[in-house]
A and B are shown apart, each in its own frame.
Chain A
C-alpha cells in the first residue's frame, strides 16, 4: 500500500444504537477488514480508536470524507447525550465537515427499533433529522445502508465504490440499487420448496419454505443476504429462521415469526406478483404431490 497517497478519512458516529453494526463490521471477513483499514483512515470510532475523543474531533477543522452514522438521532437530551450534547447537535456539526454521509443500519436510516420508544417522540433516521442547510457540504445524497444489523460487506463495498467512482445509484429510499434491488429470497436454499409450495412443517427443519407459516418475508424484502451470505457461511433463511424484513423502512413489524393468512393463503404475496397470479400458481403447484420434496433431504 502506498502510504504517500492520502487515505480518505472516515469518522464513525454512534447515536441511539445497540452497537450491532459495529460488531457486524468487526465480524467482516478478516482479509477484507484489513484491506479496508489499510485503504481508509478511520480517524474516530467510539468503540475502536483511542487517539482522540469526540470532543477533540468536534474542535478540529479537518474535513471528513466519509461520515458513517450508526443509530437513530434525537434532539432530546434527557434521554440521550454524547459528550454532553444531543446526538442531533453532534451530527449536524460533523455533517458540515463531511463530503459523504452514510447511514449504517436501519436505525440510522429510518429510526428502526429505537423509533418504537414512543415516550420519546423525537427519534429519527438521518434524512428526517437533517434540514437542507445541514447537508450543504455533502457532495452526494445520503446513502442508507439498511439492515438490523447492516452486512459488513455492504459498508465495505459502499466505501470502496464511492472512493473509486465518487457516486453510486440509489433507489427511492436512498439505498444502493446494486444491493437492495435483490430480494432476500434470491439464493435461499429453500427456493425449491417455495416454487412447489411446500411449507416447512415446523421450525427446526432443513426442509420446507418458511413463507407459509413462519412469517418469512424473503420474497418481499429488499436485500442480497442470500447472494453474499452472512459471516461468509450462512443466512437466517438458510438456517431456518424466517426473514423478518429488517432492511425495510417498516421494520420492526408486529408478529414477525408467523405468517398472517387469509383462508389458508398468505395475506401478502411476493413483491410485484398479483394475488390472482399467485393463487392460480399455488393452486396448480399444490396439486402435484412431489415425494422428494416431502421427504427428508438426508435420509
Chain B
C-alpha cells in the first residue's frame, strides 16, 4: 500500500509518500516540491547585497542566514591574509541577535507547530492549545512578539534586518537599550518558569538526570505525559549521529558518531543531488523526487539541531535523557525546549558582557570588490541546526553561492540505498499521524530546504 499526504505548518509544505508493509511504514520519501532559486538569484549580484538577500531565504531564521553570510564574507578577508578587526561588542551583538531569533522560534514552534498535533494523542481534551483561540496559543504568540523586540532594538526590526556587515554591526545601543533587552529576556524567562516548565529557571538548569523529567511541571509536563502515554520515547529513532558545525559563545562544534569528536573540517561536507531535481534537466536522474539536496559529513548522514547541540556540548540533563531514550522523537522535542531555557539564561549573560564603549564597527581596510577573486565559508547554528554558506566572488560580484540548511541535513533524500536521518526515523512507524509527528519533531523548515 502507498499513501501520499501533504504536510502543512512546516514553513511551507512537504509531501510524505509512504510505502506500507504489514501496517508499518517500510519506505518513505519526503518531497519538497518548491524551488525559489536563491543560489541563482545571488549570482552576479554586488557582493554586499548578499546581506540583504540571504535573510530573505527564510522569514523565521533570517538572522542565521545573515550571520552565515557575514562570516563567509569575512572569511574571504582571512583567506587573503587581510584579517579584520572585530570588536568583542560586535561579536556579542551578532550572537545575541541570533540567539533571540532562536528563542522566538522555539517558543512558536512548541505552541504553534507541534503541540496542536501532540495533544491529539492525549486522553484529555486540551483546548488551551487550540490554534488562534486557545489560551496557551495566544500567550505564546504574545511572548514571542515581546521577545523579538529585543532583537529590533539592535537590528531596527524583525524579520529581515541586515544589521551585521563585514567589520561589525550597524547599530550602537545605549546602556538603556541593553537594559530594555534584558527586560524582554526576563519577561521570556518568566514565561518559561511560569508556563513552560513550572519551576524557576535556575532550578531547571540544575537538572542533571533523566529522573528530573518528573520534576518538570507546566506545559512541558503535558508533553512529557502524553509522550510516555504514547511511547514517543520509542519512536523516531535514527542513526543517533549528531553534528554541530557552528562554533560560538553559546554552542560548541563537534560530532558524535558513537564517540564525540570536537574537530570539524568543512572539507568533509559533501552536497549531493543524486535524488534531487535540477534546473538543468539533463542532470536530473530518473530517481529524482525532491528539490532538496543531500548533505553528508564524512560520507555519513547526521542529525543537526538542538539535540545535537546539547549532546556535543554535553549539557547534562539532555545528555542523560538521550542516554536513556536515544534520538527518539521525545528526546528531540525535549532538547529543543531545554535549549530554550539554556539560551534565555545564556543570552542574558551575553547582553551583560557588552562594553558599550567599544566600537560597533571597524571599517575594513580594503573593500571586498578590491579582491579579483575570493572564496569564503561561514557556518552558524540556526534554530533548526547547522547552517552552512559557501561563497565565491569575482571582480566585485558574487560568482557562486551555496547554502546548506539544517533541514537539508535532516530531511534531504537518502542516497545509494542509505536512508537519510529523517527517513530512518520514520520507517517502522505504525501510523501516519506518528510519522507526521516524527517529521515535525525535526522542526522542518520547508522554505529553507529548497531555498
Contacts and interface: CB of A to CB of B under 8 A. Distances in A.
Given A117-B36, A203-B165, A240-B170, A22 B49 contact: no
Given A37-B132, A79-B34, A240 B171 contact: yes
Given A16-B36, A81-B33, A257-B162, A203 B157 contact: no
A291 B272 CA distance: 59
A205 B8 contact: no
Interface string A70-102: 000000001111111000000000000000000
From B117, B144, B159, B279, residue with most partner A Cβ within 10 Å: B159
Contacts of A205: 172, 360-361
A20 B445 CA distance: 13
A167 interface: no
Given A19-B60, A37-B138, A206-B172, 17 more contacts: A18-B59, A24-B59, A30-B145, A42-B132, A46-B12, A46-B13, A54-B8, A79-B34, A82-B13, A149-B59, A204-B168, A204-B361, A233-B152, A233-B180, A234-B152, A239-B170, A257-B162
B157 A53 contact: no
Given A49-B132, A204-B170, A204-B171, A18 B57 contact: yes
Contacts of A50: 9, 116-117, 131
A236 B58 contact: no
A80 B161 contact: no
A240 B132 CA distance: 35
B142 A254 contact: no
A231 B157 contact: yes
A47 interface: yes
Interface of A: 14, 16-24, 26-30, 33-34, 37, 42, 46-50, 53-55, 78-84, 113-114, 116-120, 148-149, 202-206, 225, 230-241, 244, 246, 252, 254-258, 298
Contact of A202 (B13, B62, B144, B363): B363
A123 B122 CA distance: 44
A118 B163 CA distance: 28
A231 B447 contact: no
A119 B132 contact: no
B402 interface: no
B68 to A, nearest CB: 15
A282 B12 CA distance: 49
A51 B411 CA distance: 26
Interface in B155-186: 155-163, 165, 167-172, 174, 180
From B142, B152, B277, residue with most partner A Cβ within 10 Å: B152
A148 B40 CA distance: 20
B141 interface: yes
B415 interface: no
B170 A81 contact: no
B34 A113 contact: no
Contacts of B45: 254
A236 to B, nearest CB: 3
A236 B157 contact: yes
Nearest to B147: A27
Nearest to A234: B152
A113 B171 contact: no
B420 to A, nearest CB: 22
B48 interface: yes
A30 to B, nearest CB: 4
Given A239-B171, A240-B172, A17 B59 contact: yes
Nearest to B174: A298
B433 to A, nearest CB: 13
B156 A234 contact: yes
Contact of B161 (A55, A236, A298): A236
B261 interface: no
A257 B59 contact: no
Contacts of A257: 48-49, 51-52, 162, 165
B122 to A, nearest CB: 15
B153 A34 contact: no
B198 to A, nearest CB: 22
Contacts of A114: 36
A48 B156 contact: no
A27 B152 CA distance: 11
B208 interface: no
B252 interface: no
A254 to B, nearest CB: 5
Given A23-B159, A30-B141, A117 B171 contact: no
A271 B203 CA distance: 57
B159 A48 contact: no
A18 to B, nearest CB: 4
A231 B60 CA distance: 15
Contacts of B360: 203-205, 240
Contacts of B53: 113, 252
B398 to A, nearest CB: 12
From A21, A30, A233, A255, residue with most partner B Cβ within 10 Å: A233
From B37, B153, B163, residue with most partner A Cβ within 10 Å: B37
Contacts of B36: 16, 79-80, 114, 117
A232 B149 contact: yes
A114 B314 CA distance: 41
Given A20-B56, A53-B6, A116 B41 contact: yes
A241 B132 contact: no
5 contacts: A79-B36, A81-B33, A119-B37, A120-B37, A231-B145
B11 interface: yes
B141 A118 contact: no
Interface string B109-143: 00011001100000000000001110000100110
B340 interface: no
A244 B55 CA distance: 14
Contacts of B34: 16, 79-82
Contacts of B180: 233
Contact of B59 (A22, A81, A236, A237): A22
Contacts of A37: 132-133, 138
Contact of B112 (A34, A48, A55, A116): A48
